[in-house]
Amino acid sequence: MSPIDLSAYVLRVSQDRAVWAPHVRFDPNRRHWSRLASPPDVDVWLLTWLPSQATDLHDHGSSAAAVVVLQGRLTEVAAATNGSLSTSTLEVGVTHRIPVGAVHEIHNAGPDPAVSLHAYSPRLSQMTVWQTTTGGLQPLRTEAVSPALAVPA
Protein backbone atom coordinates (compact mmCIF):
# COMPACT_ATOMS: atom_id res chain seq x y z
CA MET A 1 0.00 0.00 0.00
CA SER A 2 1.42 3.42 -0.87
CA PRO A 3 2.02 5.95 1.93
CA ILE A 4 -0.89 8.08 0.69
CA ASP A 5 -3.21 5.06 0.58
CA LEU A 6 -1.98 4.03 4.04
CA SER A 7 -2.80 7.49 5.40
CA ALA A 8 -6.28 7.35 3.89
CA TYR A 9 -6.80 3.84 5.27
CA VAL A 10 -5.83 4.70 8.86
CA LEU A 11 -8.04 7.79 8.70
CA ARG A 12 -11.02 5.66 7.57
CA VAL A 13 -10.43 3.21 10.44
CA SER A 14 -10.18 6.12 12.89
CA GLN A 15 -13.67 7.25 11.90
CA ASP A 16 -15.21 3.90 12.83
CA ARG A 17 -15.32 3.93 16.66
CA ALA A 18 -16.90 0.46 16.72
CA VAL A 19 -13.64 -0.96 15.34
CA TRP A 20 -11.21 0.60 17.82
CA ALA A 21 -13.09 1.85 20.91
CA PRO A 22 -13.51 -1.63 22.50
CA HIS A 23 -9.69 -1.91 22.61
CA VAL A 24 -9.04 1.28 24.60
CA ARG A 25 -7.45 0.52 27.98
CA PHE A 26 -4.94 2.46 30.01
CA ASP A 27 -2.17 0.68 31.92
CA PRO A 28 -0.17 2.71 34.45
CA ASN A 29 2.87 0.44 33.95
CA ARG A 30 3.22 0.55 30.14
CA ARG A 31 1.55 1.57 26.94
CA HIS A 32 -1.36 -0.67 26.02
CA TRP A 33 -1.64 -1.92 22.44
CA SER A 34 -4.06 -4.05 20.44
CA ARG A 35 -3.63 -5.39 16.93
CA LEU A 36 -6.82 -4.75 14.93
CA ALA A 37 -8.19 -6.68 11.97
CA SER A 38 -6.66 -5.38 8.73
CA PRO A 39 -5.96 -6.33 5.11
CA PRO A 40 -3.07 -8.77 4.43
CA ASP A 41 -0.60 -6.03 3.44
CA VAL A 42 -1.32 -3.74 6.42
CA ASP A 43 -0.85 -3.93 10.19
CA VAL A 44 -3.16 -1.72 12.27
CA TRP A 45 -2.55 -1.12 15.97
CA LEU A 46 -4.43 0.87 18.59
CA LEU A 47 -2.09 2.28 21.27
CA THR A 48 -2.97 4.06 24.49
CA TRP A 49 -0.66 6.44 26.31
CA LEU A 50 -0.80 7.82 29.81
CA PRO A 51 1.25 10.96 30.52
CA SER A 52 5.02 10.28 30.28
CA GLN A 53 4.62 6.96 28.44
CA ALA A 54 6.88 6.75 25.40
CA THR A 55 8.52 4.57 22.79
CA ASP A 56 12.24 4.11 22.33
CA LEU A 57 13.89 5.88 19.39
CA HIS A 58 13.15 3.39 16.58
CA ASP A 59 12.46 2.72 12.93
CA HIS A 60 9.89 0.42 11.31
CA GLY A 61 12.26 -1.70 9.22
CA SER A 62 10.98 -1.89 5.64
CA SER A 63 7.52 -0.58 6.54
CA ALA A 64 6.04 2.87 6.04
CA ALA A 65 3.64 4.03 8.73
CA ALA A 66 0.71 6.37 9.20
CA VAL A 67 -0.49 7.58 12.61
CA VAL A 68 -3.64 9.38 13.63
CA VAL A 69 -4.33 10.54 17.19
CA LEU A 70 -7.85 9.73 18.35
CA GLN A 71 -7.73 11.38 21.78
CA GLY A 72 -5.28 13.68 23.52
CA ARG A 73 -2.03 14.85 21.97
CA LEU A 74 1.30 13.13 21.29
CA THR A 75 4.78 14.44 20.62
CA GLU A 76 7.04 12.97 17.95
CA VAL A 77 10.80 13.42 18.02
CA ALA A 78 12.34 12.64 14.62
CA ALA A 79 16.06 11.92 14.33
CA ALA A 80 18.20 12.72 11.29
CA THR A 81 21.15 10.46 10.40
CA ASN A 82 23.53 13.05 11.90
CA GLY A 83 21.71 12.71 15.24
CA SER A 84 19.93 16.05 15.14
CA LEU A 85 16.39 15.97 16.51
CA SER A 86 13.22 17.78 15.53
CA THR A 87 9.97 17.80 17.46
CA SER A 88 6.38 18.00 16.26
CA THR A 89 2.98 17.69 17.90
CA LEU A 90 0.52 15.07 16.69
CA GLU A 91 -3.02 16.45 17.04
CA VAL A 92 -6.38 14.67 17.03
CA GLY A 93 -7.65 13.76 13.57
CA VAL A 94 -4.51 14.72 11.63
CA THR A 95 -2.83 11.85 9.80
CA HIS A 96 0.95 11.81 10.12
CA ARG A 97 3.04 9.84 7.58
CA ILE A 98 6.30 8.15 8.55
CA PRO A 99 8.41 7.07 5.56
CA VAL A 100 10.39 3.85 5.35
CA GLY A 101 13.71 4.33 7.16
CA ALA A 102 12.59 7.21 9.36
CA VAL A 103 13.84 7.09 12.95
CA HIS A 104 11.59 8.60 15.62
CA GLU A 105 10.09 8.28 19.04
CA ILE A 106 6.63 9.18 20.24
CA HIS A 107 5.63 10.17 23.76
CA ASN A 108 2.75 11.62 25.70
CA ALA A 109 3.99 14.86 27.23
CA GLY A 110 0.69 14.98 29.14
CA PRO A 111 -1.27 15.95 31.08
CA ASP A 112 -4.12 13.94 29.48
CA PRO A 113 -4.28 10.32 28.33
CA ALA A 114 -3.93 9.80 24.58
CA VAL A 115 -5.12 7.18 22.10
CA SER A 116 -3.61 6.66 18.65
CA LEU A 117 -4.04 4.41 15.65
CA HIS A 118 -0.93 3.21 13.76
CA ALA A 119 -0.91 1.48 10.36
CA TYR A 120 2.15 -0.14 8.77
CA SER A 121 2.64 -1.39 5.22
CA PRO A 122 4.01 -3.80 4.41
CA ARG A 123 3.20 -5.54 7.69
CA LEU A 124 5.68 -4.73 10.43
CA SER A 125 8.39 -7.43 10.50
CA GLN A 126 11.29 -5.80 12.35
CA MET A 127 12.27 -2.62 14.15
CA THR A 128 15.65 -1.23 15.09
CA VAL A 129 16.10 0.74 18.30
CA TRP A 130 18.59 3.62 17.96
CA GLN A 131 20.50 6.03 20.15
CA THR A 132 21.87 9.45 19.32
CA THR A 133 25.60 10.00 19.78
CA THR A 134 27.94 12.86 18.95
CA GLY A 135 28.70 11.02 15.69
CA GLY A 136 25.04 10.58 14.71
CA LEU A 137 22.60 7.72 15.04
CA GLN A 138 23.83 4.37 16.28
CA PRO A 139 21.74 1.16 16.25
CA LEU A 140 21.32 -0.55 19.63
CA ARG A 141 19.35 -3.64 18.62
CA THR A 142 17.07 -4.97 15.93
CA GLU A 143 14.01 -6.92 16.97
CA ALA A 144 11.87 -9.21 14.86
CA VAL A 145 8.15 -8.53 15.11
CA SER A 146 6.19 -11.74 15.36
CA PRO A 147 3.07 -11.83 13.21
CA ALA A 148 1.20 -13.53 16.06
CA LEU A 149 2.26 -11.32 18.94
CA ALA A 150 4.03 -8.04 18.44
CA VAL A 151 4.84 -4.97 20.46
CA PRO A 152 4.83 -1.89 18.23
CA ALA A 153 7.18 0.90 19.13
Omega before 111 within 30 of 0, i.e. cis = yes
Q: Is the pLDDT of residue 106 over 50?
A: yes
| pLDDT at 153 exceeding the cut of 90 | no
Q: Write the pLDDT tens digit of every residue in 121-138.
A: 999 989 999 999 888 999
Report the percent of the chain where pLDDT is more than 70: 95
Report how far residue 113's alpha carbon sits from residue 52's, in angstroms, rounded to the nearest whole number.
10
Residue 150: pLDDT band with limits 50, 70, 90: very low
151 pLDDT tier (thresholds 50, 70, 90): very low
pLDDT of residue 93: 92
What pTM does this model have? Answer: 0.90
- Report which of residues 102 and 110 the model is more confident about: 102
As a whole number of angstroms, the distance between CA 70 and CA 68 comes to: 6
pLDDT score for 34: 92
Of 72, 145, 140, residue with least CA distance to 103: 140
Give 61-73 as a DSSP string: TT-EEEEEEEES-
Average pLDDT over residues 20-30: 95
